[in-house]
A and B are shown apart, each in its own frame.
Chain A
Amino acid sequence: EAQVTQNPRYLITVTGKKLTVTCSQNMNHEYMSWYRQDPGLGLRQIYYSMNVEVTDKGDVPEGYKVSRKEKRNFPLILESPSPNQTSLYFCASRPVTQRSIAQYFGPGTRLTVL
């Protein structure tokens, strides 16, 4: 089954404790992206990657890091989480050349930073 998986699905942590949210897709997609969803703001892009070893900032990259060492994986790293990073996070992927294809979204990770 074609899918994007994220882990963990729920996470409660404390300020300053480094964490990683994993994202993996099994569709051989070149393009992967991370979003955060906050009430009244919709989804905002954090980082995206057009292919392996190619990453770029989205609209709200501060406080986040990403890496793309393999095509299927695109982890989101919070080196020192703060309460304003409490949010619902989505990973997504799509083929880079087919612009009419909708992004496949992961199930979401609900993060709470105390």
Chain B
Amino acid sequence: AQKITQTQPGMFVQEKEAVTLDCTYDTSDPSYGLFWYKQPSSGEMIFLIYQGSYDQQNATEGRYSLNFQKARKSANLVISASQLGDSAMYFCAMREGPGGKLTFGQGTILTVHP
């Protein structure tokens, strides 16, 4: 079974609008962490936001917020006020287990239209 699932291969959004990228996960470990990374066309991996399994509040970092619904095992990334520079591949990842292994989803390509 997939540990991390991103069901949207591609998403389109108009500049200045908000967009939600979906991520669901599967784990039996009570202590885990969820990460979102951005990969622009240049290829580097850029860390965006982190949510711990015991965190009570949803994480926010500037225009990025993580909609964490623990019972549903979802960790959706919300980007507010999209910018052209947000066009990129976005990966959801989960860290679990004593070794802290990081498992990635398949990624979602976001295209921001002017």
Residues of chain A touching chain B, judged by Cβ–Cβ distance below 8 Å, are 31, 33, 35, 40-45, 48, 50, 56, 58, 88, 90, 92, 96, 99-100, 102-103, 105, 107-108, 110
Interface residue count on the B side (C-beta < 8 Å): 25
Residues of chain B touching chain A, judged by Cβ–Cβ distance below 8 Å, are 4, 6, 9, 31, 33, 35, 37, 43-45, 47, 50, 52, 91, 93, 95, 99-107
| Contact of A48 with B99 in the complex, beta carbons under 8 Å | yes
Question: Besides the contacts A88-B43, A99-B31, what 15 more A-B pairs have beta carbons closer than 8 Å?
Answer: A40-B106, A42-B105, A43-B93, A48-B101, A50-B99, A58-B101, A92-B45, A92-B102, A99-B95, A99-B100, A102-B47, A105-B37, A105-B44, A107-B43, A108-B44
Given the complex of chains A and B, what is the CA–CA distance between A108 and B46 in angstroms? 12
Given the complex of chains A and B, what is the CA–CA distance between A92 and B4 in angstroms? 19
Q: List 10 A-B contacts (CB under 8 A).
A: A35-B104, A42-B104, A42-B107, A45-B101, A48-B101, A58-B101, A92-B102, A99-B31, A99-B100, A102-B50
Given contacts A90-B45, A107-B44, A108-B44, contact A33 B102 (CB under 8 A): yes
